[in-house]
Amino acid sequence: MYKTTQGVYKSKLFDGFSVVHGFSTRQFGDMRDPVKRKIFLSALRIDEASLVQQEQIHKDAIHVVSPSDRGRTIIGVDGLVYKQLSDDNPIVLSMHTADCVPLFAVDPVERIIGVAHAGWKGTTLHIGKKCIKEMEKLGAAASDIRVVIGPRIGACCYQITKDRADVFRTEFTHHSRKWGIFNSGNEDPASRDCVNSDVIKERNGNFFADIGKANYIDLLSVGVKPEYIDYDSSLCTCCRTNDFYSFRKGKGVLEGEMLGIVSC
């Protein structure tokens, strides 16, 4: 991803397509503030009335958006998918984050878009994979889908309990082995318990999760091409607090939220 002069993070994956997208930064302020949110949306030439949002309850339910959902917040879901039917009154999918993984997916051929909010629970419930499957039901092809894994807390900062680390191992060790995603190319995956896979790292007896990489693995497992996944491991919300808001960095105090949007 790259940062524009306006202070918006975008992906080159969508260059050449009629895809409007972006992630806000601290430069725009807290996106819970309606005035600041309007300034950010105006920078992207987005009418707030076109937004569809999800409640974000840290589960894996995905809603298929219809034109009548325009301007609504969909209760009880963490994912949205939509097939753009017309250039008139377009639908824009949006998401608020402050450490969780924002997944933005686009099939530019069929003009089908999807977003998934993946905290640790959504990630271990494989919401990203489920989002791709829902897009396929609308006519998307996994091989055409391009996915941006937006700014989120990284393995450098996301310390978790052993019990939670065990959940990640259970859900992602198989896929890590299948796709050969390990830190060292000299190790035999079958001979180890994957404690230090790219999803879980153990340092000095503490456990750290890379929830961005976990979602990357899920996307590969359902046929998204690696060259069509924009995953920048350096975009850690907890490290780069000049750019991003982080719930973890605030030690339980949510100073603000970022907003991500996508339309096709």
Q: What is the pTM of this model?
A: 0.89
Q: In this structure, are residues 103 and 60 in contact, taking their beta carbons and an 8 Å threshold?
A: no
Domain of 141, CATH number, reads 3.60.140.10
3-state SS of 153-175 is CCCCCCEECHHHHHHHHHHHHHH
Quote the domain boundaries for residue 190: 159-209
Q: Which of 37, 154, 62 is nearest to 115 (CA)?
A: 62
Instruction: Mark whether 38 and 135 lie in a shared domain.
Output: yes
Predicted local confidence at residue 178, as pLDDT: 52
Closest CA to 249 of 151, 166, 170, 176: 151
Same domain, 205 and 90: no
**Residue whose tokens read 């998307």:** 140
Digits of tens for pLDDT over the chain (264 positions)? 999 988 999 999 999 888 999 999 999 999 999 999 999 999 999 999 999 999 999 999 999 999 999 999 999 999 999 999 877 888 999 999 999 999 999 999 999 999 999 999 999 999 999 999 999 999 999 999 999 999 999 999 999 999 999 999 989 875 544 544 443 333 333 333 333 457 999 999 999 999 999 999 999 999 999 999 999 999 999 999 899 999 988 777 889 999 999 998
Residues 53 and 141 occupy one common structural domain: yes
Predicted local distance difference test score (pLDDT) of residue 254: 84
- Buried b / exposed e across 60-91, counting CB within 10 Å, b at 16+? bbbbbbeeebbeeebeebbbbbbbbeeeeebb
pLDDT of amino acid 183: 39
* C-alpha dihedral (229, 261, 45, 32), degrees to nearest 10: -140
**Are both 229 and 200 inside the same structural domain?**
no
pLDDT at 252: 76
Residue 196's pLDDT is 44
The pLDDT of residue 250: 78
**β-bridge partners, 177:** none
pLDDT of residue 88: 80
Shared domain check, 194 and 177: yes
Residue 174's pLDDT is what? 56
Q: Are residues 113 and 228 in the same domain?
A: yes
CA distance 203 to 108: 41
| Count: domains in the chain | 2
> Are 57 and 85 members of one domain?
yes
**Phi then psi dihedrals of residue 115, to 5 deg:** -135, 145
Q: Is the separation of the CB atoms in 123 and 214 below 8 Å?
A: yes
DSSP 7-47: S-EE-GGGTTSS-EEEE--GGG--TTSHHHHHHHHHHTT--
Q: d(Cα 103, Cα 127) in Å, to the nearest integer?
A: 9
